[in-house]
Amino acid sequence: FDEEDIQIGKTQPLENFRGTIYDMEKELITQTLEEVNGNKTKAAERLGISIRTLRNKLAAYKNPIEN
């Protein structure tokens, strides 16, 4: 291994990590909705979340600054 291969002590800012999780979650929800032809009830069941949580997340994706 070279020194460049090991980046001990170098981490990404927490904001980037949160953004990554947000993006992954959004993509997972979007893909699931496509798989169930937009049926929010079925999507929520597949994702293991309540329909209310799914609706809240979808609203947050439409208005990301407010959330």
pLDDT per residue as tens digits for the range 39-59? 999 999 999 999 999 999 999
Average pLDDT, the chain: 84
Higher pLDDT, 63 or 42: 42
pLDDT band at 60 (very low <50, low <70, confident <90, very high): very high
Q: Give the C-alpha separation, 65 to 18, whole Å.
A: 14
Higher pLDDT, 9 or 44: 44
Taking a C-beta distance cutoff of 8 angstroms, is the pair 43, 31 a contact? no
What pLDDT was estimated at residue 59?
A: 96
The helix (run of H) or strand (run of E) holding residue 25 is helix 14-35
pTM for the whole thing? 0.69
